[in-house]
Structures are given as structure tokens and as C-alpha cells.
Amino acid sequence: MFESFEVFTNAVKAFQTAASEDGLSSLFTITDSENDRVTSVTATAIQSCEILWSGDKAALVFATAKPPTTATHSSIGVYFCSFVTVLDVELATSCAS
């Protein structure tokens, strides 16, 4: 639970994707293949996180990360839709793109 959209955005910016073992870190993981070897690579940290749109009760937040892949240069973007309840902000849904 977050007090505001700005607090949520700051929490996403501070999220250490590679150090976390929860499901959220999987959104910032990509498959890398080099020399017929396929591995999963997780970004080490969030590169940017911005509120794209916000209203009284909802906000659209976009976060990016750059996993250290070797075969290609990669970037991952994730949209978060946050909704305000009467007393707080909750992460309602996320969608990797």
C-alpha cells in the first residue's frame, strides 16, 4: 500500500530487480542466447520510472530497465496501473511489454 502515486513511483525506482526473489522481478527478466546457450537475464536495477498520466483515482506508470544481455542490447518496459482507494494507493495490475 502506498500513500500516493509519487510514493509508488519512488518505490519502483528503488526496487532492486536482480536482488529480489518475488514475482515482480520476473517482469524485468529477458531471455538471452549466445553460442546456442540460452539463459534468463534479470536487470540489476530500474533505469527510469515516470507517471505518464494520473487522475484523482488512477495513474499509469511506466518503468524501464536494461538487463545486461550479451547477445543483443535489450531494454524492458513495464506499465503499471495504480488505483486509489479511499485511504491509499494499491498496485492493481501490471503488464509487461
Tell me: pLDDT of 6 over 70.
Answer: yes
Q: Does pTM surpass 0.85?
A: no
pLDDT of residue 96: 41
d(CA 35, CA 90): 43
Terminal C-alpha separation, the chain? 24
User: Over the chain, what is the mean pLDDT?
Assistant: 81
Range of weakest confidence among 16-20, 50-54, 87-91: 87-91
Average pLDDT over residues 41-60: 90
Give 18-25 contacts, CB < 8 A, sequence gap 24+.
18/42, 18/43, 18/44, 18/45, 24/94
pLDDT of residue 1: 65
Average pLDDT over residues 19-33: 85
Tell me: pLDDT of 95 over 70.
Answer: no
Domain 5-96 has CATH 3.30.1360: no
